Amino acid sequence: MSNTPRVTVWNEYRHEKTHEEVANVYPNGIHNAIAEYLKQQGLSVQTATLDEPEHGLTEEVLDNTDVLTWWGHMAHGDVSDAIVQRVKDRVLDGKLGLVVLHSGHFSKIFKSLMGTTCNLKWHEIAEKERIWVVEKSHPIAEGLPDYFELEHEEMYGEHFGIPAPDELVFLGWFQSGYVFRSGCCFHRGNGRIFYFQPGHETYPNFYNENVRKVIYNAIKWAAPKFQAPPLYGHFPGSLEA
Ligand code: ZN
């Protein structure tokens, strides 16, 4: 734990290998587009992908990770339950922050931590999105304007089947009229989770300066803070406290 979080950028990394349209936008994969920026910001960054052994999330990798970012879409079902549990245990223990991106809303790890469907409505018609900052004093909104726009993004619309977020930082408005809780903070156990909606694989929004700033801010927010180890269970009491 330090002021400079150690980040692992996890990506499913299947679309980029099978869809030319996606490979054209992210020739080195979504993970490297994100990791490259975070490295420029001085963070210690490694990447991991689904098809690596243990999905790249070995005990050793996670022991050296303060914050994990998660992008997945077409292969949520291929993520092993044991690895999901390994990540979840660390989040609940307050040892690992989690930043879930875009279609990661349907990942096993996010659904498991939320305990709800995490379902939503969607369409993809190359529309504009305007992302409003609705909690201006929140650290994840630091350095952002009142709102910023993405030229094209996939529409994710309410209702979003999540528990009420502990803090709502961003509200997305789409050209087709839908709105979405686009930036949501959750506390689970001793850990922190942030969900951020932009990042459809055919649009270059992981190169967008404001999207990148949000991810960076979210990593700082989600990073484990110093916590005295919790004391659970029975222990002898004294009337002379
Ligand atoms: Zn998408």
Q: How far is the CA of 20 from the centre of ligand 1 (A)?
A: 16
Q: How far is the CA of 21 from the centre of ligand 1 (A)?
A: 13
The total of other beta-carbon atoms located within 10 Å of residue 117's CB is 13
Q: How far is the CA of 237 from the centre of ligand 1 (A)?
A: 54
pLDDT > 70: what percent of the chain? 99
Q: How far is the CA of 176 from the centre of ligand 1 (A)?
A: 16
Q: How far is the CA of 102 from the centre of ligand 1 (A)?
A: 6
Q: How far is the CA of 207 from the centre of ligand 1 (A)?
A: 16
Question: Tokens 């490979």 correspond to what residue?
Answer: 23
**pLDDT tens sequence across 41-74:** 999 999 999 999 999 999 999 999 999 999 999 9
Class (C level, CATH) for 6-116+182-222: alpha beta
- pTM for the model stands at 0.96
Ordered by start, the domain boundaries in the chain are 6-116+182-222
Q: How far is the CA of 217 from the centre of ligand 1 (A)?
A: 22
Q: What is the spatial order of strands in the sheet that 167-174 belongs to?
A: 44-49, 6-11, 67-71, 97-101, 191-196, 179-188, 167-174, 121-133, 147-157
Q: How far is the CA of 200 from the centre of ligand 1 (A)?
A: 4
**pLDDT tens sequence across 207-220:** 999 999 999 999 99
Q: How far is the CA of 156 from the centre of ligand 1 (A)?
A: 9
Q: How far is the CA of 44 from the centre of ligand 1 (A)?
A: 27
Q: Above 90 in pLDDT, residue 204? A: yes
**pLDDT tens sequence across 143-195:** 999 999 999 999 999 999 999 999 999 999 999 999 999 999 999 999 999 99
Q: How far is the CA of 210 from the centre of ligand 1 (A)?
A: 18
